[in-house]
Amino acid sequence: MQQNIGPIERTLRIALGIGLLAITFLVETNMRWFGLIGLVPLLTGLLGLCPTYLALGIRALNKQN
């Protein structure tokens, strides 16, 4: 599949995903499982593909010639 996320957005998604996943290890309440939401931005950042963008026809990847 073709990527639809640019390099800056990919970096931000990966950082956000890692940050949210860190919550699962740092917080000791029942709310820590909400940190697993970080899997979504982490995976979309690593793959460079956002299913929501794909469904809406958005292509945030700028090709440089």
Domain spans of the chain, in order of start: 7-56
Q: For the segment 31-44, what is each residue's pLDDT rounded down to a tens digit?
A: 888 889 999 999 99
**For residues 41 and 14, is the Cβ–Cβ distance under 8 A?**
yes
C-alpha span between 10 and 35 (Å, rounded): 19
**For residues 13 and 37, is the Cβ–Cβ distance under 8 A?**
no
Confidence tier at 65 by pLDDT (50, 70, 90): very low
Residue 47 has pLDDT above 50, yes or no: yes
> What pTM was computed for the model?
0.83
Distance in angstroms between the alpha carbons of the first and the last residue of the chain: 21
| Mean pLDDT of the 19-41 span | 90
C-alpha span between 8 and 11 (Å, rounded): 5
